[in-house]
């Protein structure tokens, strides 16, 4: 696969910049209280430019959410090939979770997103769209065909485990260990994967 062109890299960077600004605004004010004009102004672009990249206000969150999924995937890909898969998954989850934990507004945004049907639908699409990348990493590690049932099922479970971990962290009650340590939530989510063939 060829590397992205300079134009493609610049486009991706612009998408992520606008998306990151929108997430921060949504966390601060709530999505319903933010307009496309607000997002465009804060991101330093025109509304016309906004709509060149995003069809709706809700879709603007996708690049920022996908970046977290990519962080997890990239760490998983970089782990030693002979490391137990569950340990590699734990490290990949921790990298993404700790990055989110360092940005307090991300947790506020995620909590608000869970109560907004349109935003949550975007999140579900992002998680689903991450599955092929995870599957490719798993296939490379195991030598199994990327289209095999084992790979597809495990990739889907990994993606959903990541989603559930973030959602639990976002909504954790003060007495829930996940509220103080999101990695604890990841540990619990990953625990169920032990029963899958590839992680046993």
Task: Write the pLDDT tens digit of every residue in 113-138.
Answer: 999 999 999 999 999 999 999 999 99
SS3 157: helix
- Burial (CB count within 10 angstroms: exposed 0-12, middle 13-18, buried 19+), residue 119: buried
Residue 74 near residue 93 (C-beta atoms within 8 A): no
| Average pLDDT of the segment spanning 184-200 | 64
Comma-separated ranges of CATH 1.10.10.60 domains in the chain: 6-57
7: exposed, middle or buried (Cβ count in 10 Å: 0-12, 13-18, 19+): exposed
pTM (2 decimals)?
Answer: 0.87
The CATH code that applies to domain 6-57 is 1.10.10.60
Distance of CA 70 to the CA centre of its chain: 7
Q: Report the share of the chain in percent with pLDDT over 70.
A: 90
Q: How many CB atoms lie within 10 A of CB 164?
A: 16
Note whether 93 and 125 are within 8 A (CB): no
Q: Which of 180, 178, 153 has its CA nearest to residue 166? A: 178
Closest CA to 50 of 74, 15, 23: 15
* Cβ atoms 114, 120 nearer than 8 A: yes
Instruction: Count CB atoms within 10 A of the CB of residue 136.
Output: 15
Confidence band of 192 (pLDDT split at 50, 70, 90): low
Q: How far apart are CA 196 and CA 193, in angstroms?
A: 5
* 199, pLDDT greater than 60: no
Q: Return residue ranges of the chain for CATH 1.10.357.10.
A: 61-199
For 54-111, the pLDDT digits (tens) are 999 999 999 999 998 998 899 999 999 889 888 888 888 888 877 665 567 888 899 9
Indicate the fold that domain 61-199 takes in CATH: Tetracycline Repressor; domain 2 (1.10.357)
């Amino acid at each position: 696969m060829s590397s992205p062109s300079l134009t493609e890299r610049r486009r991706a960077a612009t998408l992520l910049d606008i998306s990151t600004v929108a997430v921060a605004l949504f966390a601060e004010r709530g999505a319903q209280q933010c307009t496309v004009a607000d997002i465009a102004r804060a991101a330093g672009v025109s509304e016309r430019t906004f709509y060149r990249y995003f069809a709706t206000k809700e879709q603007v969150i996708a690049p920022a959410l996908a970046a977290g999924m990519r962080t997890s995937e990239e760490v998983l890909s970089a782990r030693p090939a002979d490391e137990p898969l569950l340990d590699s998954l734990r490290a990949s989850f921790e990298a993404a979770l700790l990055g989110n934990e360092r940005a307090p507004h991300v947790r506020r945004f995620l909590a608000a997103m869970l109560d907004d049907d349109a935003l949550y639908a975007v999140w579900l699409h992002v998680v689903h769209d991450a599955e092929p990348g995870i599957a490719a990493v798993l296939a490379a590690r195991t030598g199994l065909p990327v289209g095999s049932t084992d790979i597809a099922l495990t990739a889907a479970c990994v993606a959903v485990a990541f989603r559930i971990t973030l959602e639990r962290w976002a909504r954790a009650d003060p007495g829930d260990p996940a509220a103080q340590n999101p990695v604890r939530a990841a540990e619990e989510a990953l625990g169920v994967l032990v029963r899958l063939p590839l992680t046993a």
